[in-house]
């Protein structure tokens, strides 16, 4: 898929999925802007991106107030064609520990930040004149969450609901918006789940996927499709990428 001439912002680029998305889109010809909290890791990913014209911005998107400036820097007068929101995360939290603060922490980065990124990117001054494409990295948990995933599942379900409603508004700006619901994919998030759940339960969850534990590259390839002209007839959809988990 050819993304030449497309400027695309990738959040959470220091994570397993985010870095794989950055590498795939750069290899497809896109001009990449990566963002994350860890400057040294961002620089490490940045210097290994194929092609030229890429940039990086260190930012903590859980601070919603910084997003306006992040988008302005990323657009830099040229306009953004794409956004992939990989930043996010969650924890295994049973009901006994499910405080309002825990719920708010999950919603802050998984949902509130996503909405503000979309809102700022689709302003005329920040958007590519030809329109654009937005991808949110959701999760199978949005509809099939496991025990202890209440906060995480709710935040991802909120993202997917917004994708459906926002698609009806953004079509007026020639912007498509979709989300991807990965199953268990090797990443820092799954490493955290392994620590939280223990190996026995973690292995049981992975065994539900016919093709076993996924790779970040699989998510990156679907992102490239959705951002490219090949995905021009898709919007408002949440796509499972789960290795046959629910067959």
- 33 vs 119: CA distance, rounded Å: 18
The whole model's pTM is what?
0.94
At CB < 8 A and 24+ separation, what contacts does 40-44 make? 41/14, 42/13, 42/14
Lowest mean pLDDT among 4-18, 120-134, 147-161, 201-215: 201-215
On whether the CB atoms of residues 153 and 95 are closer than 8 A, the answer is no
pLDDT of residue 89: 87
Dihedral in degrees, nearest 10, Cα atoms 207, 212, 218, 222: -40
Tens digits of residue pLDDT in 109-156? 999 999 999 999 999 999 999 999 999 999 999 999 888 999 999 999
Residue 14's φ and ψ, nearest 5 degrees, are -90, -10
pLDDT of residue 246: 65
Q: What is the mean pLDDT of the chain?
A: 95
pLDDT of residue 229: 97
- Dig out the tokens for 151 from the structure: 């906060």
Q: What is the largest CA-CA distance in the chain?
A: 51
Active site positions, annotated: 152
- 114 vs 137: CA distance, rounded Å: 10
Residue 191: how many other CB atoms lie within 10 Å: 12
On whether the CB atoms of residues 19 and 13 are closer than 8 A, the answer is yes
Tens digits of residue pLDDT in 54-96? 999 999 999 999 999 999 999 998 999 999 999 998 888 999 9
179 pLDDT exceeds 80?
A: yes
Provide, rounded to the nearest whole percent, the portion of the chain with pLDDT above 90: 82
Cβ contacts of 228 within 8 Å, gap of 6 or more: 1, 2, 3, 28, 133
């Amino acid at each position: 898929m050819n993304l030449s001439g497309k400027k695309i912002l990738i959040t959470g680029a220091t994570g397993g999925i985010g870095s794989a998305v950055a590498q795939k889109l750069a290899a497809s010809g896109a001009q990449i802007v990566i963002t994350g909290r860890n400057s040294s890791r961002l620089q490490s990913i940045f210097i290994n991106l194929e092609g030229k014209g890429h940039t990086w911005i260190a930012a903590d998107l859980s601070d919603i107030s910084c997003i306006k400036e992040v988008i302005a820097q990323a657009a830099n007068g040229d306009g953004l064609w794409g956004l992939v929101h990989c930043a996010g995360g969650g924890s295994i939290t049973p009901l006994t520990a499910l405080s309002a603060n825990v719920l708010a922490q999950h919603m802050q980065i998984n949902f509130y930040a996503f909405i503000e990124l979309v809102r700022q990117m689709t302003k005329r001054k920040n958007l590519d004149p030809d329109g654009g494409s937005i991808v949110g990295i959701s999760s199978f948990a949005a509809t099939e969450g496991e025990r202890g995933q209440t906060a995480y599942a709710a935040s991802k379900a909120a993202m997917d609901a917004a994708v459906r409603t926002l698609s009806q508004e953004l079509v007026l700006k020639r912007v498509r918006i979709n989300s991807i619901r990965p199953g268990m994919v090797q990443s820092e998030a799954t490493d955290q789940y392994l620590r939280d759940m223990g190996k026995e339960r973690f292995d049981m969850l992975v065994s539900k996927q016919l093709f076993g534990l996924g790779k970040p590259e699989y998510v990156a390839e679907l992102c490239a499709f959705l951002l490219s002209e090949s995905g021009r007839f898709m919007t408002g959809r949440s796509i499972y990428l789960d290795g046959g988990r629910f067959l």
